[in-house]
Amino acid sequence: MHLIHVVLFAFLAGQGFKVSPGDLGENITTTGIDLLGLPQRTRMFIGGDVKLEITGLRNPCSQIENFQPGLLGAVVKKNDDGAVIRMAGIMAIVLKGGIVRTGDALRLQLPPLPHHALERV
């Protein structure tokens, strides 16, 4: 399962890209949550039934360039130390399926300490 934070679309629009929810293959778009900052194994509960476990950062491939040239470079960057920063959302496994509707409540349950930063999957 692929999740993207809605602020990514505004960021990309500022870079001159036209990307809408669903264009990058995400299953769920969220707002108000720092998805990229969640630790590995965070549990996410959506609506009354759905239960996910966050596994890592989405590692976009060259196919994203076929959608819009330059998009890969916009969502994968390097910081001043040379470390790769992936902004194309996160991946999760479905622990319990169900129906997700626009506006469903979303609740997070952090894993036990120590927390581990998300890595590419």
Strand blocks (E) in the chain: 2-5, 28-30, 43-46, 50-57, 76-78, 84-86, 90-96, 106-109
Per-residue pLDDT band for 61 (boundaries 50, 70, 90) equals: confident
> Residue 120 pLDDT > 90, yes or no?
yes
pLDDT at residue 62 tops 90: no
What is the distance between the alpha carbons of residues 101 and 77, in angstroms, rounded to a whole number?
32
Q: Which of 5-9, 35-39, 79-83, 115-119 has the lowest mean pLDDT?
A: 79-83
Q: Report the predicted TM-score, pTM, of the whole model to 2 decimal places.
A: 0.92
